[in-house]
């Protein structure tokens, strides 16, 4: 295999590993949605355990990126892709961390007398998941339009957060005995908002890969 062929093979392997890591995070978000809707503590524990696999993927891809930079000295778009992937996998890892953070609160909620899942929480979760998936699709297909779509939709998640925060504060006043549970939900929606921010970061790195504009 020539040096060029080896280089292209290394780039392709790295891209495939990013896609594999992205698949894991999509699955994790889906499990969070299920666990939260059902106050499923067993599922929440499993999400926390599975976070290690995503951490390991981040370390593996980061090592591949460093090796490619050191051995192959990529330039232009290839360099943008390798350096951007190093930032993107950090965002994916943080989204996974927030899946685990939310799962910690699901476990706490499962031990309380159940109150209904606040309105709009599921909508907020689904919108965030859509953003993450769109950011991943943008990377896989070099889809600039989809990257800009993700950036735009971050405002929708921010609006959900503001509305839910207001609704939860009102609920606390009406039902003081459930303040602790409402406080858990406030933490959960804050993590969802941060996950959307990380999806936006991923989209911005995709824009950089495609256009060179940082």
> Which parts of the chain have pLDDT scores under 70?
1
Tens digit of each residue's pLDDT (9 = 90 or more) over 86-98: 999 999 999 999 9
Residue 128's nearest CA partner among 159, 107, 171, 103 is 159
Q: What is the pTM of this model?
A: 0.95
Per-residue model confidence (pLDDT) at position 165? 98
Query: Would you call 120 helix, strand, or coil by DSSP?
Result: coil
- What is the C-alpha separation between 54 and 17, in angstroms, rounded? 11
Per-residue model confidence (pLDDT) at position 5? 87
Per-residue model confidence (pLDDT) at position 42? 97
Residue 84's nearest CA partner among 67, 65, 68, 98 is 65
Tens digit of each residue's pLDDT (9 = 90 or more) over 116-127: 899 899 999 999
Question: What is the residue whose two structure tokens read 């953003």?
Answer: 131
């Amino acid at each position: 295999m020539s040096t060029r062929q080896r280089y292209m093979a290394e780039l392709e392997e790295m891209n495939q590993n990013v896609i594999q890591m992205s698949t894991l995070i999509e699955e994790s978000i889906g499990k969070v949605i299920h666990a939260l809707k059902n106050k499923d503590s067993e599922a929440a524990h499993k999400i926390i355990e599975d976070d290690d696999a995503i951490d390991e993927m981040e370390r593996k891809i980061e090592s591949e990126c460093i090796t490619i930079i050191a051995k192959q000295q990529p330039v232009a778009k290839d360099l943008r892709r390798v350096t951007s992937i190093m930032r993107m996998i950090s965002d994916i890892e943080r989204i996974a961390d927030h899946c685990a953070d939310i799962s910690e609160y699901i476990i706490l909620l499962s031990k309380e007398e159940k109150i209904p899942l606040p309105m709009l929480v599921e909508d907020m979760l689904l919108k965030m998941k859509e953003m993450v998936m769109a950011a991943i699709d943008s990377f896989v297909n070099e889809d600039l339009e989809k990257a800009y779509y993700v950036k735009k939709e971050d405002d929708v998640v921010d609006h959900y957060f503001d509305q839910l925060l207001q609704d939860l504060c009102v609920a606390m006043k009406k039902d003081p005995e459930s303040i602790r549970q409402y406080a858990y939900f406030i933490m959960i929606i804050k993590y969802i908002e941060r996950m959307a921010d990380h999806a936006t970061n991923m989209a911005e790195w995709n824009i950089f890969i495609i256009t060179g504009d940082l």
